[in-house]
Amino acid sequence: MKAIAITGSIATGKSTVSKYLIQQGYPVIDTDIISRIVVEKGTVGLERLKENFGEDIIQADGTLNRKALSNIVFNDAASKEKLNQILHPLISKESKKRMKAYKEEGHSLIFVDIPLYYEVDIDIPTDAVWLVYVSPDIQLERLMKRNLLGEEDARQLISNQISIEDKAKWSEIVIDNSNTPEETYKQIDQLLKAENNK
């Protein structure tokens, strides 16, 4: 079984590509969803976060206060390191479990949506990377439109991640999502065809 990582940067179109792959019948594992499941109420993950970052990161209903945690970890390198130490093994374990299940079901090609593939060092074994690219101008425009943000706030979110231009330089396979979705789907069809002929 071959596993391909789908990555990009904020609002470049990873979900758009993933949805199309699912429509075409391919399994797509979403690590962003998994990163939320491993800290749901009652999990070991949430308990470990509480032990390390205090009761203030838990809301009255017992769920994680993401804003409170993000204020701690994105303002202090050691705290961010601690967060990664706690969550990454849990995200890795669940991702590998799902990959194994798809393999056992007989799938020969699966995808793993890993938004921070280039930013974080997490153990999720993939065989190739498809980068979902748009130009920085289009990224800014789509992010402002989707999240109803002003330019400054949108630029701030984009600057938290490695630039899409750098990621494109590092990736062998780049899907250009700057044009219509149909143009993007055509590129994916070609890539799938190439994979299935290997």
Ligand X SMILES: Nc1ncnc2c1ncn2[C@@H]1O[C@H](COP(=O)(O)OP(=O)(O)OP(=O)(O)O)[C@@H](O)[C@H]1O
Ligand Y SMILES: CC(C)(COP(=O)(O)OP(=O)(O)OC[C@H]1O[C@@H](n2cnc3c(N)ncnc32)[C@H](O)[C@@H]1O)[C@@H](O)C(=O)NCCC(=O)NCCS
Binding region for ATP = 11-16
d(CA 182, CA 59): 43
Binders of ligand Y in range 81-140 (CB under 6 A): 83-84, 87, 91, 116, 119-120, 122
Binding ligand Y (rule: CB under 6 A), the pick from 4, 6, 10, 140 is 10
Binders of ligand X in range 88-117 (CB under 6 A): 115
Chosen from ligand X, ligand Y, none, partner binding at 45 (C-beta under 5 to 8 Å by type): none
Assess 139 for contact with ligand X (CB under 6 A).
Answer: no
Token digits of residue 183: 């143009």
Report the nearest approach of ligand Y to the CB of residue 164 (Å). Answer: 12
- From first CA to last CA, the distance across the chain in angstroms is 12
Parallel, antiparallel or unpaired: strands 28-30 and 128-133: unpaired
| Residues whose CB falls within 8 Å of the CB of residue 98, separated by 6 or more in sequence, listed in order | 29, 34
d(CA 3, CA 42): 31
Binding ligand X (rule: CB under 6 A), the pick from 177, 185, 187, 188 is 177
Chosen from ligand Y, ligand X, none, partner binding at 177 (C-beta under 5 to 8 Å by type): ligand X
Residue 135 β-bridge partners = none
